[in-house]
Amino acid sequence: MSEDPLTKDLQRLEEIVHALEGDEIDLDRALALFEEGVRHLKTAKDRLSAAEIRVERVLEDADGVLKLTSFDA
């Protein structure tokens, strides 16, 4: 599931934190990484606080067409 956006955010954040915690980057690079990290931090938090659960029910009609309707669970 490498294309999952939350996975990507978290992976990039880990990389950035590791880079910042290492000793091998200059200040310009560190600042750029920090800004990028803050962006990923925000999108990851937004994704985690995402919308209300959605429950649907699928039914197949006589022609074999699938229909999704909202389901109250």
Binding site for other proteins (CB under 8 A): 1, 4, 6-7, 10, 13-14, 16-17, 19-21, 23, 25-27, 30-31, 34, 37-38, 41, 44-45, 47-60, 66, 68, 71, 73
Which stretch of DSSP H or E encloses residue 63?
none
Token representation of residue 65: 């067409």
Q: Measured from the CB of residue 32, what is the shortest distance to other proteins in angstroms?
A: 11
The answer to whether 42 and 14 have CB atoms below 8 angstroms apart is: no
Nearest-angstrom CA–CA distance, 35 and 4: 22
Q: Measured from the CB of residue 48, what is the shortest distance to other proteins in angstroms?
A: 5
